[in-house]
Chains A and B, each alone.
Chain A
């Protein structure tokens, strides 16, 4: 069974601070995705990382895929209240027909 562990589960910080959240697994994934979910809505894809060691930037968000393709991190610089939400990582297995497995998420709250 492929499991994705996300940490921390909850994070509340002041506007302007930096933060990092983590996604770890004992399984290797062909790719890993990060989603953000706001209340009353479905998760929305932020980024997909495919290559071990890959780093992708999306404005103030930096995503990194571990060299062994088992883990990933999301770093937010100068957090803003609009960054508040549930951040979910999801792994896609090695085979094309593999399912998309989600972690339980990190609930982030940015205080103004």
Chain B
């Protein structure tokens, strides 16, 4: 397996634009997590899914953020409209039985 695959690796966008981040989890994993990492706040959990169903989205900062998991092999995190304070590295991770998360390489988002 190629591991968790995220795209794009880097994204630079203007304030107000829509941003979509993509994730392909490891085949067979039943949990998918979206995290955001900054120097100030560390690795924050935004939302997680179990068997494609959102379980806890309490970490999503605002209504501008939304996430979907239409099937077991794909998830998206969307920010609309984007703001400069959304600049961070966004990680997707998958796991089996909500333990031992395997991370993608992340998407570095810069909103100018």
B105 and A100: CB pair below 8 A? no
Q: Is the CB of B42 within 8 A of A103?
A: yes
Which range holds the interface residue count of chain A? 20 to 34
- Chain A window 38-64, contacts with chain B (Cβ cutoff 8 Å), 1 for yes, 0 for no: 001111110010000000000000000
- Contact (A99, B48) CB under 8 Å given A48-B99, A90-B101, A92-B99: yes
Q: Which residues of A contact B112 (CB under 8 A)?
A: none
Whether A100 contacts B103 by the Cβ 8 Å rule is no
Most chain A Cβ neighbours within 10 Å, of B42, B55, B95, B102: B42
* A42-B91, A43-B43, A103-B42 known; A98 vs B98 contact (CB < 8 Å): yes
Contact of B93 among A40, A42, A48, A104 (CB under 8 A): A42
Q: How far is the CA of A102 from the CA of B37 in the complex (A)?
A: 11
- B45 with A41: CB separation less than 8 A: no
Interface flag for A110 (CB, 8 Å)? no
Contact of A42 among B50, B56, B103 (CB under 8 A): B103
Question: Whole-angstrom distance from the CB of B89 to the nearest CB of chain A?
Answer: 9
Contact at B50–A45, with CB atoms within 8 Å?
Answer: no
B72-112 Cβ-contact flags toward A at 8 Å (1 or 0): 00000000000000000001010101111111111000000
* Alpha-carbon distance A87/B22, docked complex (angstroms): 26
* Complex Cα spacing A106 to B16, Å: 35
Whether the Cβ atoms of A102 and B42 lie closer than 8 Å is: yes
Closest to A31 in B: B99
Interface residues of B (CB under 8 A from A): 4, 33, 35, 41-43, 45, 48, 50, 55-56, 91, 93, 95, 97-106
A interface with B by C-beta (< 8 Å): 31, 33, 40-45, 48, 88, 90, 92, 96-105
Q: 4 shortest A-B CB distances, which residue pairs?
A: A42-B103, A104-B42, A102-B43, A43-B103
